[in-house]
Amino acid sequence: MISPYTIDISDERLATIRAKVEAYDWSQLPDARGWTAGGGVDDLKRLVAYWLDVYDWRKVEHRLNQLPNFTADVEGERLHFVHVQGDGSKPPILLLHGWPGSYLEFKRLVGPLAADGHDVIVPSLPGFAFSRPITGIIGPRRAAELMHGLMVQLFGESRYIVQGGDWGAHIASWMAYMRPDALLGFHINMVFVHAEDATPTTPEEKDLISRRAAILDWETGYNHEQETRPQTLGVAMADSPVGAAGWILEKFGKWADLPQLADGSPDIWSKFSEEELLTNIMLYVAPSSVVSATWIYHGKRLEGSDYFPAGARVKVPVGVAAFPDPVFLPSPRSFVEKTYNVVHWSEMSSGGHFAALEQPDLMLADLRAFISTIAGGESHE
């Protein structure tokens, strides 16, 4: 069942959020010098000041409702998605975000792709934004089945293309592994799921994976907490909009491809506006999805979906846009090819973890190049 959807956060909910933001006691938050021990306090204060003095959710909500929003019931789960129609001359495209992003990461890609002829589907992942409440813990493998179910509801047996980063890339990879006949191809800007027995063999592969492991040791405390104890974290996150904002802001500062200030802190305002960051944060805080959005980490552990089985081979054509993500360093092509059928590979000049948001023109050009490789401009079946 597919229904039109209108975003409408209640006045009561907005008043509660504002009261909590206003009441935040900054005296309890000593400054550990910039971004050395987490998100910078000064940058968080700047964001919160904008929240209280300038930000107008109702204006943002009105703008978001200009998009064609829908919900669908897929195997008992309520999924929110945007569906912008093309003329049907090109295959449908499914665009998948990750955490702590949102469906709005793709806002600059949707119009051009629809103009190319594609129907463009941009969901909120299960438990994220308006794809809630969900019935329980959902990991990326289960999410892959739900995303395929959504595409079947919309397009029947027509084959489609998927693009994703972060969790979107994990989900796209599982879709390709489990539903190889449904996908024409998939394009990802993060490759972290591989066959369990794939091992680095070349000096380049070993060096990259060693360097990445050292970075991830510092940068993935959030992952371990959300993977093992999301509800403990959730107790605090559900009650503190400023806490949720700080948790999310830090990831944009550390994961995006940003210039550094003299003290080593990221210059987050060189790439993102306060409204852009706050709207993304509000998609977690306003519909009360900040807790259930962390469950996908726990679901990954419960499913064991970090890896494909030993010897697995993903035969669906894949395109990889290797953006210079400062934390999740892109794997060498030679290592990726041990699991995937790589038909398109681009070393991107700039753009980090939130590539579609940071460098939409580069992402769009690379996605179009991949589509031309696999589809040759032909109509979908």
pLDDT at 153: 98
Confidence of residue 379 (pLDDT cuts 50, 70, 90): very low
Residue 381 has pLDDT above 80, yes or no: no
96 close to 123: Cβ distance less than 8 angstroms: yes
Cα–Cα distance for residue pair 33/41, rounded to 1 Å:
8
| Tokens 């179910």, residue located | 149
Could you give the 3-state DSSP secondary structure of residue 209? helix
Residue 362 is part of which domain span?
A: 2-375
Cα–Cα distance for residue pair 90/93, rounded to 1 Å:
9
Question: Does the residue 381 lie in any domain?
Answer: no
Buried b / exposed e over 50-69, threshold 16 CB at 10 Å, is ebeeebebeebbeebeebeb
In angstroms, the first-to-last Cα distance of the chain is: 23
Mean pLDDT value across residues 135-155: 98
Across the chain, the runs of DSSP E, i.e. the strands, are 2-4, 69-74, 77-84, 93-96, 120-123, 160-164, 183-188, 314-322, 340-347
pLDDT at 376: 57
- Find the Cα–Cα–Cα–Cα dihedral 60, 13, 95, 364, rounded to 10°: 30
Residue 158 has pLDDT above 80, yes or no: yes
Residue 327 burial by CB count (10 A; 0-12/13-18/19+): exposed, middle or buried? middle
Confidence of residue 193 (pLDDT cuts 50, 70, 90): very high
Backbone region of residue 150 per phi and psi (left: phi > 0; alpha: psi in -120 to 50; beta: other values): alpha
pLDDT at 380: 33
pLDDT at 377: 38
Cα–Cα distance for residue pair 240/1, rounded to 1 Å:
35
Reported as a single tens digit per residue, the pLDDT across 241-295 is: 999 999 999 999 999 999 999 999 999 999 999 999 999 999 999 999 999 999 9
Question: Does the residue 130 lie in any domain?
Answer: yes
Reported as a single tens digit per residue, the pLDDT across 205-248 is: 999 999 999 999 999 999 999 999 999 999 999 999 999 999 99
Residue 304 has pLDDT above 60, yes or no: yes
Average pLDDT, the chain: 96
pLDDT at 33: 84
Cα–Cα distance for residue pair 147/123, rounded to 1 Å:
8
Question: Does the residue 380 lie in any domain?
Answer: no
pLDDT at 375: 77
Question: Does the residue 321 lie in any domain?
Answer: yes
What proportions of the chain, in percent to the nearest 5, are helix, strand and coil?
45, 15, 40
Residue 23 has pLDDT above 70, yes or no: yes
- Number of domains, the chain: 1
| Tokens 């993102």, residue located | 272
339 close to 308: Cβ distance less than 8 angstroms: yes
What CATH number did the domain enclosing 121 receive?
Answer: 3.40.50.1820
Question: Does the residue 240 lie in any domain?
Answer: yes
- Residue 308: CB atoms within 10 Å: 21
Question: Does the residue 89 lie in any domain?
Answer: yes
| Vertex 314 angle, CA 309 and 318, to 5° | 140
pLDDT at 42: 96
